[in-house]
Chain A
Amino acid sequence: MKLRVQLQCKNLHEYLKELSPEILDRLYNHPATCLAVYRELPPLAKNYVMRMLFLDQPLPQAAVALWVKKDSEKDHDQCVSVLSGLRLWHSQQLQGGLQGNILNPVFKDNLRIALLGGGKSWADQGDSLGPDRHARDVESLDKYALERWEVVLHFMVGCPSAAVSQDLSQLLIQAGLMRTEAGDAPCITSAGFQFLLLDTASQLWYFTLQYLNTAQTRGMDLVEILSFLFQLSFSTLGRDYSVEGMSESLLTFLQHLREFGLVFQRKRKSRRYYPTRLAITLSAGVSANSSSTAMGATPGTGDSGFIVVETNYRLYAYTNSELQIALVALFSECLYRFPNVVVAQVTRESVQQAIANGITAQQYIGVLVLLYMAELFGEILHFLRTRAHPVMLKQNPVLPPTITDQIRLWELERDRLQFSEGVLYNQFLSQADFEVLRDRAQGLGCLVWQNVAHRVIVVSPQGHGEVKRFWKRQKSHT
């Protein structure tokens, strides 16, 4: 029962399923997309696709069902639903009247091209432009990407030094990560907090999805952009590509990518661009705990984790990145700051302040419903776990139980009272009356609480009108 927007990072398949069939079919026209979609399929589905790739005729469903053993029926069914959901295959009537399956022809052709070669080349290599005098190597590309992404995050946290383009701040507002009062600078929302505490890969993916959703309103072609994105994900790190033959909207998209740090281009008018590691890992999408890639864990530090939490509620963050320090300061009180370490204390006030920021940023719907900040605390613990210093990773569990329990208790303090608006019905004349009304309310789904012994029910205000009418009708009959 969350009123607050719960950040949902859909993975690639879920996103694709939501697109309309025509768009999907146009998307599959590009070999890069087909390969990217294929890559994300579960292994059994990949097997099926491979088997049917070179068949030009439909295969009876019975034959397909024979490919799995009896006890793997569930996997088979799951496969079938995945493949149909993505419109990778559809049923067709065979000559004998049986139902058969055949791969989507567009998808089939393009996957063949992707696997065997041929067709148009996906992106012009930069060779036609000659060697680049200002060539960048992988390290500087990584650094650039991190820098740019951090500027975006800094802007969200509210550092005055971070400045981003109008477009980007518009996008953040539309994505619900920030909001703006009339004329004021944008400030962060509780969804924005959750976003900040995620790991980089998830952040990027969520952000890209938001961007794609707004692409239509900008007048950009979704299919073009998506295909370009998939193309990027197959490019080689450290290699430059030329912008020849890219349409206007693609060029605009490229500029936006440049701002997020997904590609590097020396100047706006440069004719070559370098994809960065962020772009390449992007369409690997969001897997459940993807933090093992070199970029995955934390920007701003070379190694994996940098926070040590002690059982006396002290927190030591071995970093000098402004962003990480700002994030830590969101939920703890900073005590000392040294060149390479920040010492902070996790206190009740600081943790509850973090909720308060979440609450005031959220619109109240109705007067009376309490927001459950459980997710925000879950996020704090997730943040601490994913940025834990290697020393801490040796302990099991990673975070001291005292700390995790205490943070949860501080959270639960706010939830001691739970309110629900309602209408109380009591003093029924008879048990039968009570039961009739109670069953009606339950049937309508608006029964909030009941006490059979005292014949009392509480109905939600929305249901009250209907229940009252029902009651009047009952009484007028008897």
Chain B
Amino acid sequence: MRLSCSDIGFGDWCLESNIIMVNVLKGVLVECDPAMKQFLLYLDETTALGKKFIIQDLDDTHVFILAEVVHILQERVGELMDQNSFPITQK
């Protein structure tokens, strides 16, 4: 379940007990261009990496993801770039 700030109204928490003040999550912050971010959202929706890895979608250029998928993510991005490149001239 992907959380985003706009889903939870801040007012809901005011009257709760004082123990829960701030939500703390551990993970990895990813910075990229908007196009690449859409690719990450796509991978997440189709669980192409085996599970959902986006913890939070922060803004146009940042997402917060699980730490363990970093390597596989690099590979997939590499594959995407390979698919989009063509050999320039014949030898």
Contacts and interface: CB of A to CB of B under 8 A. Distances in A.
Interface string A37-81: 000000000000000000000000000000000000000000000
A309 to B, nearest CB: 14
Interface residues of B, number: 39
B33 A429 contact: no
A335 interface: yes
Contact of A367 (B10, B59, B70, B77): B70
B41 interface: no
A428 B26 CA distance: 16
B28 A368 contact: yes
A458 B25 CA distance: 9
Given A423-B24, A455-B5, 19 more contacts: A313-B88, A347-B87, A367-B70, A416-B33, A417-B73, A418-B31, A419-B29, A422-B27, A422-B29, A424-B27, A424-B29, A424-B56, A425-B24, A427-B8, A427-B23, A428-B22, A437-B22, A449-B58, A451-B59
Task: Give the most central of B13, B22, B58: most A CB within 10 Å.
Answer: B22
Task: Give the most central of A345, A417, A422: most B CB within 10 Å.
Answer: A417
A419 B55 contact: no
Interface string B54-90: 0110110010100100110110010001000101110
B1 interface: no
Task: Give the most central of A421, A429, A451: most B CB within 10 Å.
Answer: A429
Interface string A414-445: 00111111111111110001000100000000
Please classify the interface of chain A as helix (H, G, I), strand (E, B), loop, or mixed, using the class held by over half of its residues: mixed
Contacts of B13: 427, 429
Contacts of A367: 67, 70-71
Interface string A453-465: 0111010010000
Nearest to B62: A449
Contacts of B27: 422-424
Contacts of A420: 28-29, 31
Contacts of A418: 30-32
A475 interface: yes
Contact of A426 (B22, B29, B73, B87): B22
15 contacts: A367-B70, A367-B71, A416-B32, A416-B33, A417-B36, A417-B73, A418-B31, A420-B28, A422-B27, A424-B24, A426-B23, A426-B56, A429-B13, A433-B22, A461-B26
Interface string B2-19: 000110101001100010
A427 B10 contact: yes
A15 interface: no
Interface of B: 5-6, 8, 10, 13-14, 18, 21-33, 36, 55-56, 58-59, 62, 64, 67, 70-71, 73-74, 77, 81, 85, 87-89, 91
Given A425-B22, A458-B64, A417 B30 contact: yes
Nearest to A467: B24
Contact of A422 (B6, B28, B88): B28
Chain A interface bracket (under 10, 10 to 19, 20 to 34, 35 or more): 35 or more
Contacts of B30: 417-419
A419 B28 contact: yes
A455 B64 CA distance: 15
A7 B76 CA distance: 32
Task: Give the most central of B8, B14, B64: most A CB within 10 Å.
Answer: B64
B29 A313 contact: no
A184 to B, nearest CB: 25
B70 A419 contact: yes
B12 to A, nearest CB: 10
A453 to B, nearest CB: 9
B91 A335 contact: yes
Contacts of A449: 29, 31, 58, 62
Contacts of A475: 18, 21
A424 B55 contact: yes
A456 to B, nearest CB: 6
A448 interface: yes
Contacts of A456: 5, 56, 58
B22 A427 contact: yes
Nearest to B19: A475
Given A347-B87, A421-B67, A449-B62, A413 B81 contact: yes
